[in-house]
Amino acid sequence: MDNDYILVSNVLNGDTDSFSLLVSKYRDGIYNFIYKMTFSREDAEDILQEVFIRVYNNLYKYDNRWHFSTWLYRIALNVFKTHYSKKKKQRNIDYQEVLSSLPDNLINDPELVYEMKEHNLEILKILDSLKFEDKTILVLKHIQGFSYREIAEMLKLSPENVRIKVMRAKKILYKKFIEHGEV
């Protein structure tokens, strides 16, 4: 029997410690996913909190025929969509915050570190310029590492449709890289 299913069952029977274990297990992954979508620590924290509130309130709806992580990421995606649609017009990404969060201790040459951060920042800006669906599908596949089947479950699409969408999003991303001189 799946460990997540046992934890979910325990939570539904009143064991709040089991919910804490679920949160601990998935918090970092969900936070990273949301942060890669928002590029805002503050928004990522707010969305993360809302995700786990919704998970707790809707845990009775979880169907154990599916992976718990897939169900959880679907909720995260829905919360993000709601948040994104509310803030779409006022979305201000602090790229300097993103730039400062990139590691700089791997190389001793400060000028090279700065150039690498600037390059990474351009890549992040290009990624952020993608349409919501394209960005989401690329982050789920190539940053979060989900399979086509898992993404299909989250987005309620067929795995083949997901594969095609990933391929199209990659082509769009590649085209944007060329336009920005990043390739």
Q: Indicate if the pLDDT at residue 113 is higher than 70.
A: no
Residue 134 falls inside a structural domain: no
Closest CA to 144 of 132, 136, 156: 136
pTM of structure: 0.73
Q: How confident is the model at residue 172 (pLDDT cuts 50, 70, 90)?
A: very high
Residue 1 falls inside a structural domain: yes
- Structurally, the chain folds into a number of domains equal to 1
Residue 136 falls inside a structural domain: no
Q: Are 52 and 23 in contact (CB under 8 A)?
A: yes
- For the segment 29-52, what is each residue's pLDDT rounded down to a tens digit? 999 999 988 888 899 999 999 999
> pLDDT value at position 176?
87
- For the segment 145-169, what is each residue's pLDDT rounded down to a tens digit? 899 999 999 888 999 999 999 999 9
Q: Are 144 and 33 in contact (CB under 8 A)?
A: yes
Residue 45 falls inside a structural domain: yes
Domain containing residue 34: 1-92
Residue 183 falls inside a structural domain: no
Q: Region 85-95: what's the mean pLDDT?
A: 58
Residue 79 falls inside a structural domain: yes
State the CATH number of the domain containing residue 88: 1.10.1740.10
Q: Indicate if the pLDDT at residue 22 is higher than 70.
A: yes
Stated length of the chain: 183
Residue 39 falls inside a structural domain: yes
Q: Indicate if the pLDDT at residue 89 is higher than 50.
A: no
Q: How confident is the model at residue 83 (pLDDT cuts 50, 70, 90)?
A: confident
Q: Indicate if the pLDDT at residue 63 is higher than 50.
A: yes
Residue 161 falls inside a structural domain: no
